[in-house]
Structure 1
Amino acid sequence: MPQSYQQQAAWQQLQQRLPLKFRINDQNKPHEYYWSWNDYRVHVDAYPNTKAPAKVILLHGVGTNGRQMSLILGRPLAQKGYETFALDLPGYGLTQYPSKKEIRYDHWVKLVNDFVNEQAQKDDRPIFLYGLSAGGMLTLHVAMQNQHVDGIIGMTFLDQEFKDVQKGTMRFSALSPVLLPSMKAVAHTPLKQITLPMSLVSKMSKLTNDPEALRIMLADKTSAGNSMSVEFLNSYMHYQKPYPLTQFNQAPVLLTQPEKDQWTPLKLSQPVLKQLKVPYRVMSLQNGGHYPVEQPALDQLVKYSDQFIRENLKR
């Protein structure tokens, strides 16, 4: 595995599918470093800025990685004056780990929670979380137990407690009543360490609406071409929140919903939105797919995120 994204071709191929102003070059590339967490060495794309009014931590889903978050939002928000961090969560990107077979979704929650706490200890600037796809719900899972989160931006909020969400995100949705109990049973046996391609168990073919971008991402073992263990999948599908979402009062929420998302349309985020008592807003990203590479969706993602952060800086 390469130590730096400078040594990886996949994201450089992917950014050729993005508008020129969203591409990373030698003059605007992020600072890369590794953050130690338990037995993990977590890769971080950072745009340091001690004078920034806020910090934004970007979280990918189960078909993407941190560098792909830097492309569409991390660097653009840094250009707007924010300090940004895009994490490679265990099992994805360039993050190093002892064994993929032992990674669980709750490790993701704890890791991000600790990263937020560490950033909060450095100074008192507001901290905002952004999450794409499964990363959207991850932002809520973290904020439910972290008092330092000042705002949440999600590109879908997928609560797997709801059957319609399970069916909508799984590849063989008609079999979900059989597959999910079977997965839970297998997760309590040695077979839990079996790894499965994420493209097999999810609708990864709907990750982006650009055929060439999709081909690149599916061939990338650090993002959409990745495999994860049955234990991880089970821990993700059956994650237990610390308390009901109806009691969540930590931070306001912005849903940036791609208009042409063929994987997770707005209706799959509605179960979460209906439970929120905090202020929330839904903004449509015109012409955008699940991982948007299109205009004006990309410009709108940056614009709406920037507006949301500025509105909540003095909350």
Structure 2
Amino acid sequence: MESITNSLTYNESVVYWKKYQKFFPEEMWLKETNLPTEEWWVWNDVHIHLDRMTAPNAKMKVMFIHGAGGNGRLLAPYALMLQQHGYDVVSPDLPPYGLSYTESLKTLDYRRWIDILTELIEQEIKRDGKPVVLLGTSIGGMLAYHTATNSKQVKGLIVTTFVDTSNPKVRDQVMKDPRAAGTKIPLRLLRTFLNMKPMVEPENFDICPVLLIHPEVDLMTPFTLSESFFNRLNGKKEYKILEGAGHFPIEQPGLEQMRVAVLSFLKELENE
């Protein structure tokens, strides 16, 4: 994997992410002794920032996929939890979010995101041969599904929501969300996201096991919107409702339920 250096880093220069740590339990806080390693990867004209957290003797790697308005560093407390339990984690920023960027912003669309992640999966497998599990949050859940169907090299799929915008009800809910409307993104990216249909219909999905960890108090994407897509999924699947947790699951007991469900799912994948 080609890597470059860049002047912007989360560890030293762009530190606003630290303000979010107080919302997590202290054992999930990032400190100077456990910060992610930062890398840059260039694919075509896209510069992708990667947060990497490795664990000794890890047999599996989890790739985090953030949602709209997020970035890989905001998911670092969850990555730290998985690292502490023996899993490698890599968290890319998807342009134009986080530190990642592209020199041709006008050509950026949702399909490009899928292609970026598909290529990154291939590069990660070439890097060390470890099986890759995708963990998508918010709209990153459906993006993880699209990527898994495109890559066909994914060991497992974990999502917090299934925002299927080919469903008119789901599309209406996304369009009405004032928090999404306030984010500046290319119109081409927004249009292609809203019009994206599954490359593989859920009834035909047989690539890997699926775990849906849906927050109970998710006002942005209620469980009923994810449930319809989940029920259509073929193959091995399970879901867990995270009690008391909102769209970004930090509340208890949902946060602990998330930890238990994800670790159990990963352990089952290891034993297959």
Instruction: Output aligned runs, 1:1-315, within 5 Å.
Output: 3-6=8-11, 7-49=13-55, 51-71=57-77, 73-171=78-176, 202-204=177-179, 226-315=183-272
SS across alignment from 1:241: coil
Q: Aligned partners of 1:80, 1:31: CA distance in 2, in Å?
A: 18
Q: Equivalents in 2 of 1:310, 1:272: separation in Å?
A: 25
Q: Distance in 2 between matches of 1:110 and 1:94?
A: 19
Amino acid paired to 2:117? V
Identical-pair percentage: 31
After TM superposition, give the deviation of residue 241 of structure 1 in Å. Answer: 2.9
Mean Cα deviation higher: 16-25 or 77-86: 16-25
Shift of 1:251: 0.5
Q: TM-score, normalised by structure 2?
A: 0.92
Give the C-alpha shift of residue 225 in structure 1: 6.2
Partner Cα distance (2:182, 2:20) in 1 = 14
- Shift in Å at residue 256 of structure 1? 0.5
The answer as to whether partners of 1:57 and 1:130 remain within 8 angstroms in 2 is: yes
Counterpart code for 2:28: F
Is the CA contact 1:2–1:8 (under 8 Å) kept in the aligned structure 2?
A: no
Query: Could you tell me which amino acid in structure 2 is paired with residue 204 of structure 1?
Result: R
Distance across 2 between alignment mates of 1:55 and 1:47: 10
CA contact (8 A) 1:15 1:23 kept: yes
- The gaps in structure 1 that reach 5 residues or longer are 172-201, 206-223
The alpha carbon displacement at 1:124 in A equals 3.3
Aligned partner letter, 1:158 = V
- 1: CA distance, partners of 2:43 / 2:56: 23
Counterpart CA distance in 1 for 2:132 and 2:192 is 27
Partner of 2:3: none
3-state DSSP class of the match of 2:211?
strand
Instruction: Could you tell me which runs of 5 or more consecutive residues in structure 2 were left unpaired when the two chains were aligned.
Output: 1-5
Deviation at 1:50, TM superposition (A): 5.8
Contact 1:126 1:313 in 2 (8 A): no
